[in-house]
Amino acid sequence: MAEPKEDDFLDDIAQAEAEELAEEMAEIDAGALEVETLRAERDELKDRWMRALAEAENARKRGERARRDAEQYGGSRLARDMLPVYDNMKRAVESITDDQKEASAALIEGIELTMRELLNVFGKHGIEVIAPEVGDKFDPQYHEAMFEAPVPGTKSGEIIQVSAEGFMLHDRLLRPAKVGVSSNPG
């Protein structure tokens, strides 16, 4: 049998060292791969957490806005239903003659006080009267044209008659003012 040569021995050592180094590199590669996988998972979880946090903040803001809207505009149906009461009381107050004021002063005063209290309650709840006057410019955001007529001495688009006042609930139109508008071409 031939004796092992020194070169074969060195080759075996080199090969053993190469295998050991390869195993260490494989472990390092596996470790690095695991670290990269964990980083990617961490980044994904952080992204999901940030999105969930943003969604929770958006939900809180939506809830706050809904609460505010409900507080401000929740009574809009009731308010809209009260407008004919205002219209009728206003017509009643405007139709009172001087003779009736003298004959039924206490009754007339009660009606006028009721009208003022109704306006105070409207103001307390953010309801404002839109009271255009003859000669004002027609604004389709606040006025509803009931008719057009060519009235001499007016310009086209001027209000020539106010049939009913309008109302705003905070910044929303509750009912437009009903007006007649000049169609004079001049």
CATH number of the domain at 74-182, out of 3.40.50.300, 3.20.20.370, 2.30.22.10, 3.40.50.80? Answer: 2.30.22.10
20, pLDDT greater than 90: no
pLDDT tens digits, 32-58: 778 888 898 999 999 999 999 999 999
pLDDT, tens digit (0-9, with 9 covering 90-100), for 152-184: 888 899 999 999 999 999 989 999 999 999 988
Contact (Cβ atoms closer than 8 angstroms) between residue 118 and residue 88: no
Sorted by where each begins, the domain ranges of the chain are 1-73, 74-182
Tracing tokens 């307390």 back to the chain, one arrives at 124
Task: Write out the DSSP string of 52-85.
Answer: HHHHHHHHHHHHHHHHHHHHHHTTHHHHHHHHHH
Q: Tell me the pLDDT tens digit for each residue of 62-105.
A: 999 989 888 888 788 888 999 999 999 999 899 999 898 888 98
pLDDT exceeds 80 at position 22: no
